[in-house]
Amino acid sequence: MRITQGAFSFLPDLTDDQIAAQVQYCLEKGWAVNLEYTDDPHPRNTYWEMWGLPMFDLKDAAGVLLELKECRKHFGDRYIRLSAFDASHGWESVRLSFIVNRPANEPGFKLQRTEMEGRHVQYTTVPYSADKPEGQRYK
């Protein structure tokens, strides 16, 4: 099951040129671009691991693409997300965020039903991949 989080997630995966064009848009707006990765794509897992520091003061998307390639080399089997932060209000706020890399095989989520008192049912979504320890989930 294909994970849909952030912008463009219902479109086919963006090519590197398309990613570069998006990044260039962000940079021209003066936003800082940041890469994050995870192998726990649960929708409630909002804080992913950071790949290096957010990239400030860049002029050209090539710098971000350089890091993205490097990140894919190490974590190509995980989800990688690119977010752009706008600091014009005095604090950093996310303006754009989209997935730029996903595992080849995405098993999706299991729906767990727990029977509670009476006829009450509690629902929980669990990624199938989450059974394995971190780092081995999409090997």
Partner 1 sequence: MLDETLVPTSVRLRDEIEGAGINEVLAQLDEDLIGLKPVKTRIREIASLLLIERVRQKMGLLGDTPTLHMSFTGNPGTGKTTVALRMASILHKLGFVRRGHLVSVTRDDLVGQYIGHTAPKTKEILKKAMGGVLFIDEAYYLYRPENERDYGQEAIEILLQVMETQRDDLVVILAGYGDRMEKFFTSNPGFRSRIAHHVDFPDYEEKELGDIAELMLKQQNYQFSEGARRAFDEYIHLRKQQPLFSNARSIRNALDRARLRQANRLVADLDRELTATDIMTLEESDIRASRVFSKTES
Give me the residues that bind partner 1 (CB under 8 A), please: 52, 55, 57-64, 66-67
Least Å distance, CB 63 to partner 1, is 3
Nearer to partner 1, 6 or 54 (CB): 54
Tell the residue number behind the tokens 């190490």, with chain if given.
74
3-state secondary structure of 112: strand
Cβ(53)–Cβ(67) under 8 Å?
no
Least Å distance, CB 59 to partner 1, is 5
CA-nearest of 16, 7, 132 to 78 is 132
Nearer to partner 1, 67 or 92 (CB): 67
3-state secondary structure of 75: helix
Least Å distance, CB 66 to partner 1, is 6
